[in-house]
């Protein structure tokens, strides 16, 4: 008799918790996830503001589950579920696959919601993925760099104005960190501008920040933000976002336009599109946020073999936070284990236990609500640090986070400022640059400073227009001064060579923010290619794992050692 087949869609809190809880189950587990990593989303804003690196909060799923022999991880884009045949249809690049299941756990999470104005995303990235955080980091630090070189006072003011939309925990944390970055970390580093005069504007339709925390803690959070220098625009709704600023509408009908180049969207969530797909296939209902209405046992009506967990489930009284995902995953895993043993589960209905809410405002300032217990100030901040460190997956990530926190909070420095905040005078980066470049173009050449988008971002304009990272031209030439393909996004491949045409390193789809060095400091050149040229590029490169480093560190050929610079408060590899 074949073993029970469990398919888990998603590697977030719910998906990973369910897989680990089924470690000793007599079943074969297949995890299908868009990304190869597990993202600790509550600390994403610290990546965006340079406190942590992306590796600290996003360990690879394979590394986490390498000792769990009954689990197999597949990087997959699920685009179909046949509930009658019990098959999940997915693809990786242009290759299509089907995975049968006996039990299906859907925990694909949620994305950012722009409330029907998806075009806002070009100008105001959300805070849901590593790519979002890295793009925001480049925009934030790049705004200061461009302001240093600008001569028009109006342009400088627009560059040094940051707008954060949404006064929930993510928005409050982001606004506080940007203001602290400007007033303390970057103080004295520029000659033509004063970073301490940067404006940070927090916008929300509620009457006070942190509405779920209650009026008392909301008032304390407001006082702390104002003391920090954050401007609050409460009872205001965003009606327009473009490259030059944000348009607000107050409840009394008055309108206001804030000139700003760097905007952050931290308002609203939308469940994965798999929720609608699953509802259409099973006849289940979805709410206005795209979450699937499930039964008391978290299964779909008429399909007890399908569980919907985390941000994708609609259960009264369960907020879209990490604890809701973790507790629902534990309940579903226990139910599956009981079924495999032929026993009735101990609990037939899911009940959520509210362990409280936390939000940090700035260094040594936070608010905590745990039932009737309300904490503020340093005590709340210490509790926030301890609990977040406790829930980070993996000892290595915990130690790395603790070390970076120690130096960042003691010295005020950021150990992961971007090496290049974006080319001056070229406007927005990432999706904003793609929009400027147009659709379908990209056979240009760049000098790594951005004269050609294909040169600066590994063929982004040619390969990734319209969101299609798979239909790449056979070869996109690009040139760089020492660094070939500084930021590689999507599935672009890079082979870097030194002047003598000797292959040095080969990269294969590393996350954005990693740098591939082309030898010593000068004269490097590289080629970027899509899947059609992948095999040839791989054959030209040596069979050696690529050396890569996060932004803010440095690698050179020869012997390497780790050292710490007290001047810059950064670790370096030499």
Collapsed DSSP state (helix, strand, coil) of residue 392: coil
Q: For residue 189, how many other CB atoms are within 10 A of its CB?
A: 10
Collapsed DSSP state (helix, strand, coil) of residue 163: strand
Strand partners, 533: none
Residue 364 carries which DSSP code? T
Strand partners, 290: none
Collapsed DSSP state (helix, strand, coil) of residue 51: coil
- In terms of Cα–Cα distance, which of 150, 3, 119 is closest to 70? 3
**What's the first-to-final CA gap in the chain, in angstroms?**
56
What is the chain's length? 574
Whether the CB-CB separation of 68 and 398 falls below 8 Å is answered with: no
Buried b (16+ CB within 10 A) or exposed e, 281-301: bbebebeebbbbbbbeebbbe
Instruction: Give the CA angle between residues 219, 221, 227 to the nearest 5°.
Output: 105
Residue 158 to residue 177: CA distance in whole angstroms: 19
Sheet of 236-242: strands edge to edge? 236-242, 245-250, 255-259
Buried b (16+ CB within 10 A) or exposed e, 233-264: bbbbbbeebeeebbebbeeeeeeeebebbbbb
- In terms of Cα–Cα distance, which of 468, 472, 438 is closest to 458? 472
Residue 497 to residue 503: CA distance in whole angstroms: 5
Phi and psi for 199 in degrees, rounded to 5?
-95, 135
Residue 357 to residue 388: CA distance in whole angstroms: 12
Q: Give CA 187 to chain center in angstroms.
A: 27
Contacts of 290 (CB under 8 A, 6+ apart): 110, 270, 271, 272, 273, 275, 276
Active-site residue list: 173
Alpha helices, H only, 239-376 = 274-282, 322-340
Whether the CB-CB separation of 56 and 404 falls below 8 Å is answered with: yes
């Amino acid at each position: 008799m074949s073993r029970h087949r469990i398919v888990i869609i998603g590697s977030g809190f719910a998906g990973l918790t369910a897989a680990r809880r089924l470690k000793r189950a007599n079943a074969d587990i297949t995890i299908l996830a868009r990304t190869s990593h597990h993202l600790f989303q509550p600390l994403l804003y610290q990546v965006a503001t340079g406190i942590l690196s992306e590796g600290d909060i996003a360990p690879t799923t394979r590394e986490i589950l390498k000792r769990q022999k009954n689990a197999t991880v597949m990087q997959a884009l699920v685009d179909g579920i046949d509930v009658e045949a019990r098959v999940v249809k997915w693809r990786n690049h242009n290759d299509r696959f089907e995975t049968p299941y006996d039990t299906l756990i859907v925990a694909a999470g949620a994305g950012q919601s722009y409330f029907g104005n998806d075009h806002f995303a070009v100008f105001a990235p959300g805070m849901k993925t590593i790519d979002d955080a890295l793009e925001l980091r480049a925009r934030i630090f790049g705004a200061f760099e461009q302001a240093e070189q600008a001569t028009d006072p109006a342009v400088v003011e627009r560059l040094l104005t940051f707008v954060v939309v949404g006064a929930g925990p993510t928005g409050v944390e982001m606004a506080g960190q940007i203001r602290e970055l400007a007033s303390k970390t970057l103080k004295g580093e520029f000659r033509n501008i004063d970073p301490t005069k940067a404006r940070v504007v927090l916008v929300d339709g509620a009457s006070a920040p942190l509405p779920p925390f209650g009026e008392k803690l909301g008032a304390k959070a407001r006082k702390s933000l104002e003391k920090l220098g954050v401007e609050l625009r409460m009872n205001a709704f965003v009606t327009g976002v473009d490259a030059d600023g944000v348009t607000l509408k107050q409840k009394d009908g008055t309108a206001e336009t804030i000139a700003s180049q760097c905007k952050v969207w931290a308002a609203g969530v939308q469940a994965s599109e798999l929720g609608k797909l699953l509802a259409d296939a099973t006849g289940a209902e979805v709410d206005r946020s795209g979450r699937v209405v499930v039964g008391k046992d978290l299964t779909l009506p008429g399909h007890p073999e399908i569980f919907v967990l985390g941000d994708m489930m609609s259960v009264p009284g369960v907020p879209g936070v990490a604890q809701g995902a973790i507790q629902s995953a534990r309940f579903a895993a226990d139910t599956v284990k009981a079924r495999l043993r032929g026993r009735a589960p101990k609990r037939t209905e899911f009940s959520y236990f509210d362990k409280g809410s936390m939000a940090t405002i700035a260094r040594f300032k936070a608010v905590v609500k745990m039932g009737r217990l309300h904490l503020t100030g340093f005590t709340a901040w210490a509790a926030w640090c301890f609990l977040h460190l406790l829930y980070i997956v993996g000892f290595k990530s915990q130690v790395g986070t603790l070390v970076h926190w120690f130096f960042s909070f003691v010295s005020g420095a950021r150990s992961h400022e971007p090496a290049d905040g974006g080319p001056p005078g070229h406007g927005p980066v990432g999706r904003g640059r793609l929009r400027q470049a147009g659709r379908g173009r990209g056979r240009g050449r760049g000098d790594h400073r951005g004269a050609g988008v294909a040169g600066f971002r590994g063929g982004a304009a040619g390969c990734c227009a319209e969101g299609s990272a798979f239909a790449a031209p056979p070869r996109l030439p690009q040139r760089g001064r020492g660094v070939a393909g500084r930021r590689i996004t999507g599935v672009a491949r890079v082979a870097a060579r030194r002047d003598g045409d000797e292959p040095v390193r080969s990269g294969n789809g590393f996350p954005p923010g990693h740098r591939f060095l082309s030898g010593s400091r000068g004269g490097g050149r590289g080629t970027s290619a899509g899947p059609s040229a992948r095999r040839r590029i791989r054959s030209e490169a040596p069979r050696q794992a690529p050396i890569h480093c996060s932004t803010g560190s440095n690698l050179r050929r020869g012997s390497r050692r780790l050292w710490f610079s007290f001047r810059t408060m950064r670790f370096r590899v030499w």
